[in-house]
Amino acid sequence: MRKLVFHIDVNSAFLSWEAAKRVAQGEADLRLVPSAVGGDREKRTGVILAKSIPAKKCGVKTGEPVAQALRKCPDLILARPDFRLYEQNSRAFTAICARYAPVVEKYSIDECFLDMSGTERLYPDYREIAHRLRTEIREELGFTVNIGISTNKLLAKMASDFEKPDRVHTLFPDEIRKKMWPLPVGDLFSVGAATATKLTIARIKTIGDLARTDLAAVKFLVGDKLGEQIHRYANGIDDSPVLAEAEDAKGYSNSTTLEEDITAEPDAFRVLLALADSVSTRMRADGKTAGCVAVTIRGDNFRDRSHQKKLDEPTDITAEIYRVACRLFSELWDRHTPIRLLGIALTQINAGPAAQLSLFPDAHKEKTRKLDQAVDTIRSRFGHDTIAHGSLHASALEVGKKHRAQMEAE
């Protein structure tokens, strides 16, 4: 049986999902004008999480401060992040993919792999079925995807990164020399900016150069583990299976793959605030609390690192979850590796009240919990973007500074 893998990648996910929502409401399409997701226009705070093609032409970059983006593009339309909207769209497009594939692996909020092996009798023409899937997502949900097709996950993902948007591309083993090898070495999956610089200095400028370079030489340049991995990838070798989506993990989580790397702690904290807000809101809606907070980061070397902390008592308070997440991030990050993905997970889920009854209740905590509940009520009536936890960011920066000072002292 021939192995066949699809990689589905939403084009400019956060911006596309916001644009599709507005178009459905009869508003203008954000994808056609200079626009971006992230931050607050009036306060000129926050960071750009996603941008439209017209905004990109104005020089707006993902990851840069909103104030800087507005100097480049004064007419930039800004939409605040809405992770609940993103989760809804993520589930929706994944559900459409599941109509066609026996196995669907969710890789991130806007990407998934489909194992189409053994479906030849159902779908004799894999290109035709890919175009049908792409069209269904666009017509039913209002946004576009790229689909890459190959015999393994690596090549399928590389193929989906070819010309965008709304395209289907193949990258089979016999197409590697023509389609993949001429690309810059930095375009290879798992080759970050720092690694690409090392390879380029060593005159390994294209993926083909890397594929033809002696493995020992590659390991000498970038280390044994990464060297072996990127050398295999350059030759189109990847044995990783497409894994079925795990069953309910009995927790709440959210992650985001950033269009451009984050290199500053304040920018990472802003993203963590949005993630903490998202997962805690969902958990409160279910009447649950969490006893453990975990943070995951993915560097530009595509290596995931995670750290978790068990709480003294279960909580559903956004501020508490956010501050723990920021502390975990400060412990995880080396403060120089660019970050491509951030995620928060809440586990050890409990039903019932957020804390055991006490003769001496914490008045501040109760006040904060009531504030969260009020925010949830306002959002449920008027939309997620109506109100945000802006004040938490400044306090977390102070927590981060104190924690770093403590780690350095130790």
List, as own/partner pairs, every contact residues 188-193 make where C-beta atoms lie below 8 angstroms and the sequence separation is at least 24, other chains included.
188/158, 188/230, 188/233, 188/234, 189/154, 189/157, 189/158, 189/233, 189/302, 190/226, 190/229, 190/230, 190/233, 190/301, 190/302, 191/230, 192/299, 192/300, 192/301, 192/302, 192/338, 193/261, 193/300, 193/338
State residue 364's pLDDT score. 59
**Residue 7 pLDDT level (bands cut at 50, 70, 90):** very high
Residue in 18, 64, 105, 111 annotated catalytic: 111
State residue 229's pLDDT score. 93
| Structure-token pair, residue 59 | 């020089």
Biggest alpha carbon–alpha carbon distance for the chain: 73
State residue 410's pLDDT score. 45
Higher-confidence residue of 230 and 252: namely 230
Lowest-pLDDT range, 79-83, 136-140, 287-291, 389-393?
389-393
Lowest-pLDDT range, 19-33, 76-90, 348-362?
348-362
State residue 387's pLDDT score. 46
**Residue 194 pLDDT level (bands cut at 50, 70, 90):** confident
> 67, 44 in Cβ contact below 8 A?
yes
**Residue 360 pLDDT level (bands cut at 50, 70, 90):** very low
Q: Judge whether residue 275 has pLDDT over 80.
A: yes
Q: Judge whether residue 182 has pLDDT over 90.
A: yes
State residue 359's pLDDT score. 42
Q: What is the pLDDT of residues 361-372, one digit of tens each?
A: 455 566 666 666
Q: Judge whether residue 147 has pLDDT over 90.
A: yes
Higher-confidence residue of 196 and 45: namely 196
Strand order in the sheet with 50-51: 50-51, 35-37, 77-79
As a whole number of angstroms, the distance between CA 267 and CA 63 comes to 7
State residue 373's pLDDT score. 62
Q: Which of 326, 320, 324 is nearest to 284 (CA)?
A: 320
**Residue 66 pLDDT level (bands cut at 50, 70, 90):** confident
Residue count of the chain, please give it.
Answer: 410
Q: How far is CA 235 from the centre of its chain?
A: 27
Phi, psi of 355 (to 5 degrees): -150, 155
**Residue 273 pLDDT level (bands cut at 50, 70, 90):** confident
Q: At what angle do helices 215-222 and 193-201 cross, to 10 degrees?
A: 120
Compute the average pLDDT of residues 253-271: 84
Q: Is 265 a catalytic residue?
A: no
Lowest-pLDDT range, 32-41, 91-100, 350-359?
350-359
Compute the average pLDDT of residues 55-82: 89
**Residue 35 pLDDT level (bands cut at 50, 70, 90):** very high
Instruction: Find the distance separating the first CA and the last CA of the chain, reported in whole Å.
Output: 57
Q: Judge whether residue 325 has pLDDT over 50.
A: yes
**Residue 402 pLDDT level (bands cut at 50, 70, 90):** low
Phi, psi of 208 (to 5 degrees): -65, -40
State residue 369's pLDDT score. 64
Phi, psi of 40 (to 5 degrees): -130, 120
Q: What is the pLDDT of residues 105-126, one digit of tens each?
A: 988 889 999 999 988 888 889 9
Query: Can you tell me whether residue 281 is helix, strand or coil?
Result: helix
Compute the average pLDDT of residues 293-302: 86
Portion of the chain with pLDDT greater than 70, in percent: 82
Q: Which of 70-74, 205-209, 273-277 has the highest mean pLDDT?
A: 205-209
Q: Judge whether residue 351 has pLDDT over 60.
A: yes
As a whole number of angstroms, the distance between CA 54 and CA 57 comes to 5
Q: Judge whether residue 203 has pLDDT over 50.
A: yes
Tell me which amino acid residue 143 is. Answer: F
Lowest-pLDDT range, 75-84, 221-230, 265-274, 344-353?
344-353
CA angle, 366 as apex, 365 and 370 as ends, to 5°?
A: 115
How many other C-beta atoms are found inside a 10 Å radius of the C-beta of residue 356?
Answer: 8
